[in-house]
């Protein structure tokens, strides 16, 4: 029986052999003919050879040592503070509860003025500041500016170390910088990096911050309001984790020291920032918004409120008007108009083109100084 079984296997193998050979033969016969290479040009390689060729310059193998970080950090750290806020928030069911949040700040003089981000203290019911030496103080808001995301606090204390202000215009790509702050609310820490881009605009929640410094130094939640310093221990930027939270590693942002300096001065001197003011609240018109609301244009800014009195009210602008041009600038969105207004002078007259209903009109507005928030 076994011999018969072996005989059957041998017979099957002999039958399969020609079949497999035939299969290979069919596969080969059906394959396309080899591609023809294009004709080569008549080139003589010897014409391009240079037996004595060397690299034009040899690389310098000498490397520059890393900067000495510890002395800089030790000099700056005492001026950096942890900022803890409490605010009342509501849940989905309308129930209110107190929520704590952490940020950073820096002492800028020996009178107790502290610079931080606006979003760190916005809507805060109470603010506590903890110094490097362990002392804790209640802080009061001196002034805030949402457009630049800056705020100034004040504590009543003595023997306050303060941080020197630097010149951000002297920065260059590749400069070493250190971000110091209350990262993740776990205490003051430091992280080094380089300047990777300058004069960067970043839009957050419809508000565009300009002139930002991009850095590879890690900026995490809790770093907000802390200093970005150069190797001289000078503030050249104010970090903002709110801006840096874009889900991308190695792309932190800081508000430059030069752009923030006049804002801080205005907040300390008068509690608000003086700017040209039109007196309207705005909403960007998009094609989708225009289609769903049957608007006459699909680009511009919709006036949702006109303050009275204001330059806008005096110029005859009304709620529902759509501004499409301001002076010499075409207006496509809210940021365009805000920037155009801020590029003007207080008292300047500006022609405004707007759409009301199906009609395009023009008017002249004389810009005024930003009114005091206290009336």
- For the annotated catalytic residues, the residue numbers are 119, 149, 224
CB 277 within 8 A of CB 367: yes
CB 160 within 8 A of CB 128: no
DSSP state of 62: -
Q: How far apart are CA 106 and CA 215, in angstroms?
A: 19
Q: How far apart are CA 84 and CA 316, in angstroms?
A: 45
* Alpha carbons within 13 A on the beta-carbon side of 173: 5
CB 106 within 8 A of CB 165: no
Burial of residue 104, with CB atoms counted within 10 A of its CB: 0-12 exposed, 13-18 middle, 19 or more buried: buried
Q: How far apart are CA 49 and CA 45, in angstroms?
A: 7
Q: Nearest 5°: phi and psi at 71?
A: -65, -35
CB 290 within 8 A of CB 302: no
């Amino acid at each position: 029986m076994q011999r018969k079984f072996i005989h059957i296997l041998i017979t099957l193998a002999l039958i399969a052999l020609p079949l497999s050979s035939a299969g290979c033969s069919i596969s080969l016969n059906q394959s396309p003919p080899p591609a023809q290479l294009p004709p080569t040009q008549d080139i003589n390689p010897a014409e391009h050879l240079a037996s004595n060729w060397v690299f034009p310059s040899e690389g310098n193998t000498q490397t520059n040592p890393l900067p000495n970080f510890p002395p800089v950090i030790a000099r700056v750290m005492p001026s950096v503070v942890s900022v803890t806020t409490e605010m009342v928030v509501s849940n989905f069911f309308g129930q209110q509860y107190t929520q704590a949040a952490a940020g950073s700040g820096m002492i800028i003089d020996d009178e107790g003025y502290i610079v931080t981000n606006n979003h760190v203290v916005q809507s805060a019911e109470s603010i506590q500041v903890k110094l490097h030496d362990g002392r804790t103080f209640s802080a009061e808001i001196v002034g805030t500016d949402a457009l630049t995301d800056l705020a100034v606090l004040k504590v009543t204390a003595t023997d306050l170390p303060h941080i020197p202000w630097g010149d951000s215009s002297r920065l260059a790509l590749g400069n070493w910088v250190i971000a110091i702050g209350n990262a993740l609310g776990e205490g003051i820490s430091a992280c080094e990096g380089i300047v990777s881009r300058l004069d960067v605009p970043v839009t957050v929640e419809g508000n565009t911050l300009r002139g930002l410094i991009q850095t590879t130094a890690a900026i995490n939640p809790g770093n907000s309001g802390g200093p970005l310093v150069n190797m001289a221990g000078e503030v050249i930027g104010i970090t903002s984790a709110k801006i840096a939270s874009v889900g991308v590693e190695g792309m932190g942002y800081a508000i430059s020291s030069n752009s923030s300096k006049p804002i801080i001065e205005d907040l300390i001197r008068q509690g608000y920032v003086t700017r040209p003011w039109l007196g309207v609240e705005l909403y960007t018109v998009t094609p989708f918004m225009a289609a769903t609301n049957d608007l006459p244009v699909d680009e511009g800014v919709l006036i949702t409120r006109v303050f009275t009195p204001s330059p806008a009210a005096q110029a005859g602008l009304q709620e529902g008007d759509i501004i499409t041009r301001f002076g010499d600038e075409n207006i496509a969105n809210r940021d365009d108009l805000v920037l155009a207004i801020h590029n003007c002078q207080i008292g300047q007259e500006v022609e405004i083109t707007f759409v009301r209903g199906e009609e395009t009109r023009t008017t002249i507005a004389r810009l005024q100084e930003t009114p005091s928030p206290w009336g």
